[in-house]
Amino acid sequence: MKLKHTLTCIIVIALHISCSDQNNIIISKPQETIQGVVVSEFAHRPIREVEIDFKGIGVKTDTAGFFKIDIPESRIDLATDQISFMCFPYVSRKIKIDQLLTKSIADTVTMQLSVKWTMYQKILAAGIEQSYNIIPVIDWYRNNETLKNSKVIIMRHDVDMDAQAAKAMAYIENQMDIRSTYYFRWRTADIDQISYVRELGHEVGLHYETLASYCAEHHITESTAITPEIIRTCREILKSEIRLFEQKYGDINSICSHGAPQNRLLNVANSILVYEENLSDYYVEIDTNDPRFLKNTAIDIFIADSGSQWQPIPLIAAIQQNYHTILALVHPDWWGDMVISSTDG
């Protein structure tokens, strides 16, 4: 897919108004029609379900980005009438009718993302331009042998605090024909948000924190107090959590441990529960934080934006330096509008 170099998403609207004389300020006909198509120039595809309102008449674009508004028995005032356009996660706009009536075939409306989302979009565009396949975790795990000669970014998102930002990120990726993986904690798991992410074609998994939760509940603050019996108990709890997550939110194929404050206190990761375990016993194929995944699938570099700082290098730098296989952990929290503390867990 060929992308134009731009920091904003341009919406092109082909607009036609049937009227006899556009020079008149007031236009009145028994059946006036406003119609057009909304297209994301940056993502190079039509945008569906853009909410459009004109004089209280609301419509949405269809799957091809087309809209049509019929206004019977109505008058159009070119001086004051406005059309509003709203499409999550873009900033909504109101545009005067006379700004849309030009002699060109298509009139143009600029719909902007926030600065941070535009930066993220730019990173994705750079990856695509450099011929990277951007794929979910499970796709890499199942097909890494066939993909070993391709440049790949395995895109993983840990949804720690801001599920709405995850929804926005999933939308932006979908507009660029990208699929990735979203790991939801119990506190961010929401049926509407998860269903939305799934409908866009992304993978969903559980971001578990089983050991940390158990230790917090039982006031365990020293790693020496974590006995083999506690590990066995937490393993059974994790299996139950995975079954429950699937019952509530649909089948999952991969999981990923969360780094909670309790883990930092204990200096023990939640992923210790699956070390050397047969993951089929947990009803999944892979834990993305399992050392076996990192070692056995030939990942060249693991990059994360934890704490809103890229480590060990920015993802855009890894793309520019042409790393062959990149595992990228991008937290929606740091790109959305919610104020997140680095100590939130």
Q: Looking at residue 115, what is its pLDDT?
A: 87
Q: Encode 143-191 in three state secondary structure.
A: HCCCCCCCCEEEEEEEECCCHHHHHHHHHHHHHCCCCCEEEECCCCCCH
Q: Could you tell me if 189 and 88 lie in one domain?
A: no
Domain boundary residue, one of 111, 129, 146: 111
Q: Which of 27-41, 60-74, 151-165, 267-281 comes out lowest in average pLDDT?
A: 27-41
Residue 111 or residue 289, greater confidence:
289
User: What CATH number is associated with residue 80?
Assistant: 2.60.40
**Most confident stretch, 47-51, 175-179, 339-343:** 175-179
Say if residue 290 is exposed, middle or buried (CB neighbours under 10 Å; 0-12, 13-18, 19+): buried
Q: Cα 147 to the chain's mean position, in Å?
A: 23
Q: Could you tell me if 295 and 189 lie in one domain?
A: yes
Q: Which of 44-48, 82-86, 214-218, 277-281 comes out lowest in average pLDDT?
A: 44-48
- The tens digit of pLDDT for each residue in 83-117 reads 999 999 988 889 888 776 654 444 567 778 888 99
User: What CATH number is associated with residue 200?
Assistant: 3.20.20
pLDDT (average), residues 32-54: 79
> CA angle at residue 108 from 106 to 114, to 5 degrees?
150
Task: Report if pTM > 0.75.
Answer: yes
pLDDT (average), residues 298-302: 92
Contacts of 193 (CB under 8 A, 6+ apart): 163, 164, 166, 167, 184
Distance separating alpha carbons of residues 118 and 170, to the nearest angstrom: 14
Q: Looking at residue 36, what is its pLDDT?
A: 76
Enter the tokens of residue 182.
Answer: 């979203």
Q: Could you tell me if 86 and 107 lie in one domain?
A: yes
Is 105 part of any domain?
Answer: yes
Q: How many domains does the chain have?
A: 2
Among 119, 123, 180, 156, which residue's Cα sits nearest to residue 327?
156
Q: Could you tell me if 67 and 82 lie in one domain?
A: yes
**Most confident stretch, 34-38, 109-113, 311-315, 337-341:** 311-315
Q: Could you tell me if 161 and 98 lie in one domain?
A: no
Domain residue limits at 20: 9-111
C-beta atoms surrounding 70 within 10 Å:
12
Q: Looking at residue 43, what is its pLDDT?
A: 65
Q: Could you tell me if 74 and 122 lie in one domain?
A: no
Q: Looking at residue 340, what is its pLDDT?
A: 56
pLDDT band at 75 (very low <50, low <70, confident <90, very high): confident
Domain boundary residue, one of 90, 111, 132: 111
Residue 175 has pLDDT above 90, yes or no: no
Q: Could you tell me if 19 and 61 lie in one domain?
A: yes
Q: Could you tell me if 102 and 131 lie in one domain?
A: no
Domain boundary residue, one of 111, 126, 143: 111
Residue 69 or residue 180, greater confidence:
180
Q: Could you tell me if 19 and 136 lie in one domain?
A: no
Residue 272 or residue 69, greater confidence:
272
Q: Could you tell me if 174 and 73 lie in one domain?
A: no
- Whether the upstream peptide bond of residue 228 has omega within 30° of 0, thus cis, is no
Distance separating alpha carbons of residues 107 and 307, to the nearest angstrom: 42
Q: Could you tell me if 45 and 76 lie in one domain?
A: yes
Q: Which amino acid is at 306?
A: S
